[in-house]
Amino acid sequence: MEMDKRQVEIIPAILVKSRAEFEAKVALVAPFVSRVQIDIMDGKFVPNKTLQPGDFPAITSGLEAEYHLMVENPLDYVRMIGKKGAIYELHVESVKDVGAAIEEVKKLGGRVALAISPDTPVSSVEPYLPQIEHVLVMTVYPGFSGQKYLPAMEEKMRALSAKGAVVEVDGGIDIGTAKSAARAGATLLGVASGIFAKPDMKKAIEEMKKDAEG
């Protein structure tokens, strides 16, 4: 059964390997969105490696940041980033004690979301739903941009949404999959190539939002 259609937010996902590329991508989308997702990979938890926390320039004033930590020892990265009020998306697969990790991020002044890879069940995050901002359901295997959306993950979106969780999705989101994910209960859509591979960022974001809410 499909969920009711609802208002969604498009969140550009910034996956880069240099300061210049980071600044350029943020500048391209900053006028059209309120939040960006910054993908951080360590080459260990996932095979790819991105720009590391110490190399990030300041983010445009007024933009909310969420840091998708596809890394081993994510709490080390939360400390390195040190941005109070930011959302830190922790993969449950990389955290030994999820409850303790949530508390630690909050003590450091951050907000917490939990992320689950395609092979991880919803049950791994259910006990923590009252303590977190949202659940990030990966709709591809984490590590690389441009992968094909996995529609089987929509069952997770429905299950989490039915429990009152805010659901974000990330991976293979574009026209068509945006609508499908939104109907399954996702209200936050993380988008990389679906925006940055298009010639007109503003148009790409508007069309994706329209598709998701249509």
**Tens digits of per-residue pLDDT, 143-176?**
776 789 999 999 999 999 999 999 999 999 999 9
Which amino acid belongs to residue 142? P
- What was the pLDDT predicted at 168? 98
Q: Out of 39, 42, 174, 211, which one is annotated catalytic?
A: 39
Task: For residue 51, give the nearest of 31, 23, 32, 30 by alpha carbon.
Answer: 23
Percent of the residues in the chain that have a pLDDT greater than 90, as a whole number: 87
pLDDT at 197 over 70: yes
| E strand spans, the chain | 9-14, 35-41, 64-70, 87-91, 111-116, 135-138, 167-170, 188-191
Express each pLDDT in 38-88 by its tens digit: 999 999 999 889 988 888 888 877 899 999 999 999 999 999 999 999 999
64-70 vs 87-91, strand pairing mode: parallel
42 is catalytic: no
Q: Would you call 15 exposed, middle or buried from its count of C-beta atoms within 10 A (0-12, 13-18, 19+)?
A: buried
pLDDT at 6 over 80: no
The CA-to-CA distance between both ends of the chain, in Å, stands at 17
Task: For residue 59, give the nearest of 26, 34, 82, 81 by alpha carbon.
Answer: 26
Cα gap 101→110, rounded to integer Å: 11
Percent of the residues in the chain that have a pLDDT greater than 70, as a whole number: 97
φ and ψ of 180, to 5 deg: -60, -45
φ and ψ of 194, to 5 deg: -60, -20
39 is catalytic: yes
Cα gap 17→52, rounded to integer Å: 8
Mean pLDDT for 6-22 is 93
pLDDT at 213 over 50: yes
pLDDT at 2 over 60: no
Q: Out of 42, 170, 174, 211, which one is annotated catalytic?
A: 170
Cα gap 198→1, rounded to integer Å: 32
- What was the pLDDT predicted at 3? 45
- What was the pLDDT predicted at 209? 97
- What was the pLDDT predicted at 89? 98
pTM of the predicted structure, to 2 decimals: 0.94
Place of tokens 């949404």: 161
Q: Would you call 189 exposed, middle or buried from its count of C-beta atoms within 10 A (0-12, 13-18, 19+)?
A: buried
pLDDT band at residue 130 under the 50/70/90 scheme: very high
